[in-house]
Amino acid sequence: MGRHSNKGGPAALLASAALLALAGCTAGSGSSALASTPTPVAAAEEPYASTYEPFPGVPTAIVGATIYDGAGGMIEDGVVLFTDGEIVGIGGADLAIPAGYTRVDGTGRYVTPGIIDIHSHLGDYPTPSVDAHSDGNEATDPTTPEVWAEHSVWPQDPGFSRALANGGITTLQILPGSANLMGGRSVTLRNVPSRTVQGMKFPGAPYSLKMACGENPKRVYGGRGRMPSTRMGNFAVNRETWIEAQEYMAEEEPGRDLAMETLAGVLSGEILVQNHCYRADEMALVLDMADEFGYRVSAFHHAVESYKIADLLREHDVCSAVWADWYGFKMEAYDAIPENAAMIHQQGACVVIHSDDENGIQRLNQEAAKAQADGHRMGIDIPDADVISWITLNAARAMGIDEMTGSLEAGKMADVVLWNGDPLSIYSRPEMVWIDGAVMYDMNDPQMRPVSDFELGQPGEGDVK
Amino acid sequence: MNRLLALAASALAVSGALTCAPAMAQNVAITGATVAMGDGSEPVENATVVVQDGRVVAAGAGVAVPAGVPVLDGSGMWVTPGLFASLTSLGLVDVSAVSQSNDIEADDSPFGAALDVAPAINPMAQDFGYSRAGGVTRASVTPEAGASIFGGQGAIVDLGADFDAVRHPRAFQVVEMGERGARLAGGSRTSAHALLRNALHEAGSFGDAAQLRSGGSAGGGNTVVGQDSRMPGNTDRSGDVLLTRFDAAALVPVVRGEQKLYVRVERASDILAMLALREEFPALDMVLVGATEGWVVAEQIAAADVPVIAVALRDLPVSFEQLAATQSNVGRMVDAGVRVAIGGYDSSGDHPRNLPQQAGNMVALNRVPGATGLTWGEAFAAISSVPAEVAGLGGRVGVLAQGAHGDLVVWDGDPLETSSAPILVFVDGVEQPLTNHQTRLRDRYRSLDESERPRAYEW
């Protein structure tokens, strides 16, 4: 964790905040004795370390906007101050603006934290979506905890720029696909153009292990005449693998084993679990499997039936990362309903709106707004400011980065979106996006729109997209 | 909210009364609402819509309600024509990944152009009801090409809750001419073009020899369904033919321009190649489907007077035939004079009932410097009257014009806004049920209390 200590200022804050975040995760990771066992293999230096550094910005005051702070707060005619990459203040019109701050007129506009997508495949399933770019599923074995999504990410995926300009996405988690029960490690990225994936990696973000239950693993492997071909096979393979990980952790001097290092990281609480799962009954079984082996599921992804067990999810403090209204495309999505998010929220459980889609990531604000409206029509009224947390702080929390970003709070990263209207309205678009206090997108400045290498010299290069 | 409930209750009372007197069920008037005509004009406030005998009689400000027509107070509401969803799979699929329940494409069929969705459509499929609850009242049901470049013949349906869904069978033929068409044709666009031209020539000569009469196009100007042009002739064909007799017969109305040809094509150069095909087959009544790079050649499309059905929000170079993708595609084509309907669903999240979201984004786009979107009126027309025109039903659906079908949707707000949804849906003046599998699940799980008995007893 000390790899950023050579930098002062915000970077130092990042490193210490990351420690806090991880401590929080460990504390909540269940009662197993294994949870306190350190990872057996600690590389001298973390490999493939982030080389991201914030880009230059100027001290900025956004004045006169309606602010959703991401943590459930709303301020009308408010002020947001940031400098050196950090939020330094947020308040009403009476908040003093220090000398030397550049004022941005927020009149008639809205401010939110940078939008966060907890479930993306940008870079590992980039466009153009040709076979040669299909790098998201190592579908050669049902358990591949040894693979790391970052080794598949193509930083030139044009989708990153669309997510930034149209969706206000500042942070995103790239997950391996769901063909495998254990698909590999995720990587959390800053949504900045970069020549390398290391230049995008979110400093201090914990890794997650992508897991999947249900139809996909049993279809992929059952179709090849190998285990698992059933849901009970899914669980058997998972449990055998967790036992293997426990045995690995019990060894006095375990050798290098990429798969076991990842699983040991999960069992020791350093690596989070993001679990693709649709059906309520399967989620309940996964929660018991987590108890059996002493790990914690951070979020169920897709979770189209969370509304059936929202009480259970609240008790286990597990987030549901859901679409607003995808349904019916596969058997385990047949009972998906548009009220899912609102009904989860109503039970007091954690909601995250995710995309899993290079188009959907450009409109998480609209998806959240639809889910809010579907709740309203059944009598569940959720304040706008809470709905914004579904695509900001709640996502950050389920990714273990909520101490660093996800809300507009002094000391956090200055990840900020200025919208040209209410972000919960169809008629609004991001006007400016700051990442760590640096302007990365400006609707009114054609040059402030990144163009990937792939698009240079192509029709529509630099177009509004 | 009370007003909404009162409105819903009164409407139900109206339809309940109609159970005994079916003719009256097709009469309804809604007053005091914000009304969008669907014709591209901006919404009119405090307006009235009158439907009698299932047809629109009048819509606008200052319209009087004839005596005897049940009146609903629409103040605070919006009223629009029902949405027209192009390119759907409604009634062809229950769960797309469950192959037994999916009739969208026929990969192993010996037939191509002869395939006809009409007898396969199941109006009781959940997606029918789910789309109806989202305000979709008419749709084109479109087969996908599976075993050949020809997908077969699509139909126009209404979404009334009955078995009489197919209003215009064999309304159009589908052909794949882009990257996918090239693969289906044997590996190259060269083969796709050769196959298409050969098929049209075969159909031309086959039709003459067989003396086939054709029909079934929704563009025929009336609601009479013509003779099925696939009726087998008794003429033996000789020589070098690639099409089955059934497929050749199905293409006779296409080559004669009596049935629309939906051409799936994305790349600008592919669009021009298709437009050029009309020099050889001048009668072709083409519709470009996809046209992601249409804006690049918008002037040529407009000059050819060929309409387009496009996904509104494509902006990624998903393939090498979509490198110029931009959300401004639709707006730029419209500005060039092309008739553009919004339709097509790129991800599992895109659904016919989310067409207003696609359209609403086109309005938002106008506020982005350098981008080209649509006005509100244009955007709503792109999901109502324009797709109806493209389907050959101009003036009859998708618009609140006198004599049009009485397909109405009463919304609780601006229909293009994320927060709005239909409260009432009428097809041919008949109020429709808005319940479905999804709403029943919602109602069951409003509470998770199982202290008395399991949720399974709540229904």
* DSSP-based three-state secondary structure for B200: helix
Tens digits of residue pLDDT in A335-345: 999 999 999 99
Fold adopted by B84-390: TIM Barrel (3.20.20)
Return the closest-CA partner of residue A135 out of A117, A118, A122.
A122
Whether residue A345 is contained in a domain is answered as yes
DSSP class of residue B102?
A: B
Assigned architecture for domain B2-82+404-435: Roll (2.30)
Whether residue A452 is contained in a domain is answered as no
Strands (E), B273-354: 286-290, 308-310, 340-342
Of B326, B364, B446, the CB nearest to A426: B364
Average pLDDT of the segment spanning A74-89: 98
Return the closest-CA partner of residue A334 out of B147, B260, B101, B361.
B101
* Domain assignment of residue A358, given as a range: 11-447
Nearest-neighbour CA in chain A from B369: distance (Å): 6
Whether residue A157 is contained in a domain is answered as yes
Look at B316 and A130 and tell me if their CB atoms are within 8 Å.
no
pLDDT > 90? residue A2: no
- Contact between B142 and B88 under an 8 Å Cβ cutoff? The reply is yes
The complex's ipTM works out to 0.91
DSSP class of residue A143?
A: B
> Residue B211 — pLDDT band, cuts 50, 70, 90?
low
pLDDT > 80? residue B340: yes
A424 touches chain B (CB under 8 A): yes
Tens digits of residue pLDDT in A127-143: 999 999 999 999 999 99
| C-alpha span between A202 and A52 (Å, rounded) | 7
Q: What is the predicted pLDDT for the residue at A227? A: 97
Give residue limits of the domains in chain B: 2-82+404-435, 84-390
Q: What is the predicted pLDDT for the residue at B23? A: 44
Cis peptide before A128 (omega within 30 of 0): yes
Q: What is the predicted pLDDT for the residue at B237? A: 56
> Residue B210 — pLDDT band, cuts 50, 70, 90?
low
Q: What is the predicted pLDDT for the residue at B449? A: 97
Give percent above pLDDT 70 in chain B: 87
> Residue B206 — pLDDT band, cuts 50, 70, 90?
confident
- How many domains does the structure of chain A reveal? 1
Average pLDDT of the segment spanning B10-25: 45
**Which A residues 174-203 touch B at CB under 8 Å?**
none
B455: nearest CA in chain A? A308
Whether residue A219 is contained in a domain is answered as yes
Q: What is the predicted pLDDT for the residue at B230? A: 45
B98, B423, B445: best mutation site toward chain A, by most A Cβ within 10 Å?
Answer: B445
Q: What is the predicted pLDDT for the residue at A462? A: 87
Q: What is the predicted pLDDT for the residue at B238? A: 56
| C-alpha span between A291 and A34 (Å, rounded) | 11
Whether residue A464 is contained in a domain is answered as no
A309: nearest CA in chain B? B448
Tens digits of residue pLDDT in A447-456: 999 999 999 9
A380 touches chain B (CB under 8 A): no
pLDDT > 70? residue A28: no
A215: nearest CA in chain B? B97
> Residue B345 — pLDDT band, cuts 50, 70, 90?
confident
Measured in whole angstroms, the distance separating CA A20 from the mean position of its chain's CA atoms is: 18
B320 touches chain A (CB under 8 A): yes
| Domain at A351, CATH number | 3.20.20.140
Of B94, B316, B354, the CB nearest to A127: B316
Number of CB pairs, chain A paired with chain B, less than 8 A apart: 171
Whether residue A460 is contained in a domain is answered as no
A444 touches chain B (CB under 8 A): yes
Alpha helices in B136-230 (DSSP H): 179-184, 189-210
- Angle between helix axes B437-444 and B126-133 (nearest 10 degrees) is 80
| C-alpha span between A183 and A212 (Å, rounded) | 7
Residue with tokens 């997508």: A117
pLDDT > 90? residue B331: yes
- For chain B, what is the total number of helices (H) and then of strands (E)? 12, 16
Return the closest-CA partner of residue B71 out of B16, B8, B11.
B11
**Which A residues 309-328 touch B at CB under 8 Å?**
309-311, 323-328
B367 touches chain A (CB under 8 A): yes
> Hey, what amino acid is at A88?
V
What distances in angstroms separate CA B116 from CA A69, B121, B198, B244, B259, one per listed residue? Answer: 54, 10, 21, 15, 13
Measured in whole angstroms, the distance separating CA A350 from the mean position of its chain's CA atoms is: 14
What distances in angstroms separate CA A152 from CA A158, A181, A379, one per listed residue? Answer: 15, 19, 44
**Which B residues 143-172 touch A at CB under 8 Å?**
none
Pairing of strands B136-141, B83-88: parallel
B369: nearest CA in chain A? A444
Indicate left, alpha or beta for A436 from its phi (over 0: left) and psi (-120 to 50: alpha).
left
Whether residue A201 is contained in a domain is answered as yes
pLDDT > 70? residue A29: no
Q: What's the per-residue H, E or C state across B349-412?
A: CCCHHHHHHHHHHHHHHCCCCCCCCCCHHHHHHCCCHHHHHHCCCCCCCCCCCCCCECCEEEEC
Whether residue A375 is contained in a domain is answered as yes
